[in-house]
Amino acid sequence: MSNYKTEQEIFWAGDFGTEYIERNQGNALLASNLNFFVNALRSVRDIDTCIEFGANIGLNLQSIKLLYPGIDASAIEINQTAAKQLADVIPPHNIFKKSILEFVPGNQWDLSLIKGVLIHINPEELPQVYDKLVASTKRYLMVAEYYNPVPVAILYRGHNDRLFKRDFAGEIMDRHPQLQLVDYGFVYRRDPNFPQDDITWFLMEKR
């Protein structure tokens, strides 16, 4: 077993991460994700490969595969139970079963994606995660997280220091000026048709 560096990694690799799977699956969520990516990726052109940081059981990648049939998808996933189910969505050899903090990019993909994961990473580790996201993409980077103009910590299901909000995309672009903002948007949890959990998304392009 990995010797994780942060409490947040232990949290998601263990029982809480496994319980998360049961709360976050089903056709309704898949439909909402498909609608999400139709809008969030409307400016993307010519992508054949992608990698998702923190893919869980692969609901996001299922949607992307519907939109881009034949795409070669890869993923990083810390929770071993989730990674087993993820292998039903993408080839097992494309799954990096480890923490994002342990992942070392050895390749580049047309699209690098992270959705609802940066909010759960120890803030001290964010700069290296930003660097990994940028190093992993040939062209596009999508960040979809809770947004706040200044960093704040939020109580998460009774746990402290497990959820953080900030301007993740702005910090990435400040750190990596070769990235330019292409598009952005927001999906409200009360959307009557295709709700998301108050997600703000940003599509950036490496130039």
Q: What is the CATH number of domain 7-206?
A: 3.40.50.150
Counting every residue written for the chain, the total comes to: 207
The conformation of residue 198, written as its DSSP 8-state character, comes to: S
Task: State pTM to two decimals.
Answer: 0.94
Tell me the per-residue pLDDT of 83-130, one tens digit each, with 9 for 90 and over: 999 999 999 999 999 999 999 999 999 999 999 999 999 999 999 999
For the chain, the structural domain boundaries read: 7-206
146 is written with which tokens?
């809770």
Provide the 3-class DSSP secondary structure of residue 177.
coil
- 19 contacts 57 by C-beta, under 8 angstroms: no
Tell me the per-residue pLDDT of 182-195, one tens digit each, with 9 for 90 and over: 999 999 999 999 99
Place of tokens 């010519």: 46
Q: How far apart are CA 61 and CA 51, in angstroms?
A: 9
